[in-house]
Structure 1
Amino acid sequence: MSAPIPVKVHYHKQARELELIYENGERHRLSVEYLRVFSPSAEVRGHGPDSATLQVGKKHVGLANITPAGRYALKLHFDDGHDSGLYSWDYLWWLIEHREANWADYLDRLEAAGASREPLGIEIKQL
């Protein structure tokens, strides 16, 4: 069975959350930071389980744009310049279903690496 397809996608800019709304009224909000650190791109995931790149300093990342990719995915354009990888409806549903475990694992990996969600240095945002 494939994942449900949202009937509406809304970006809450202030909260930095992407909301997916489904035909049955179900709604899910995913933080942009979560979407960024779990990007399906090869740049983030690598080409195998041991080649993934831990994403650090993404706490305040936002979205610059969202574009559809056919009828099967979204392309998210992050304001840190990252815009590779397509978020298929199946992948977004997987992120929803595994959010708590994924996030806990991510925080554990950050701690093990001595890294932080906070950006390093001075943050410069283009408006």
Structure 2
Amino acid sequence: MAGLNPNTPIPSEVRLLTASHTLELAYDDGQRFSLPCEYLRVYSPSAEVRGHGPGQEVLQVGKKNVAITAIEPVGHYALKLVFDDGHDSGLYSWDYLYELGRNQQTYWQDYLNRLAAAGASRES
């Protein structure tokens, strides 16, 4: 994950929609992303999920109904998301959140493919 650069899009609005388990990000350029809590959880930038190097990623299963219980700003460069399954160690930089939004369809399909290959489920 790259550090903050001068071209990093920073959301002008961050809203947690608790009923739909969605984090909404709005940008001054008109871009809007609705990122489900499950998607954010399974793509957490934490070492617990990503491992400490290539090939060490840990497939997250049973996260379909996970919710975000708190959002904490980290400096001017990231958000710490606290999930109701106890996970709270990932720092979501503005760059990474924008990347997750831009690539949501591709990344989500990749996750579903990895779940299927592992014979795993989104259900808890």
1:57 counterpart letter in structure 2: G
Corresponding residue SS for 1:68: strand
Partner of residue 18 from structure 1, selected from 11, 23, 40: 23
1:48 CA displacement: 1.4
Corresponding residue SS for 1:6: coil
The answer as to whether partners of 1:8 and 1:22 remain within 8 angstroms in 2 is yes
- Could you list the per-position Cα deviations for residues 89-116 of structure 1 after superposition, in whole angstroms to 9, with x for gaps in the alignment? 0000111111111111100110111100
Match of 1:96 in 2: 101
Number of aligned residues = 119
Tell which has more relative contact order, 1 or 2 (C-alpha 8 A, sep 6+).
Answer: 2
Gaps of at least 5 residues in structure 2 are 1-5
Partner of residue 37 from structure 2, selected from 23, 26, 32: 32
Match of 2:116 in 1: 111
Q: Percent identity?
A: 60
Match of 1:124 in 2: none
Q: Distance in 2 between matches of 1:105 and 1:19?
A: 22
Partner of residue 6 from structure 1, selected from 1, 11, 22: 11
Corresponding residue SS for 2:69: strand
Q: Please, what TM-score do these two structures have when normalized by structure 1?
A: 0.90
Root mean square deviation, CA, Å: 1.0
Residue 104 (structure 2) pairs with residue 79 (structure 1): no
Q: Distance in 2 between matches of 1:73 and 1:2?
A: 15
Written as runs of structure 1 = structure 2, the 5 A alignment for 1:31-50 is: 31-50=36-55
Q: Please, what TM-score do these two structures have when normalized by structure 2?
A: 0.92
Residue 74 (structure 2) pairs with residue 63 (structure 1): no
Q: Distance in 2 between matches of 1:3 and 1:91?
A: 10
After TM superposition, the runs of 4+ consecutive aligned structure 1 residues lying more than 3 A away are: none
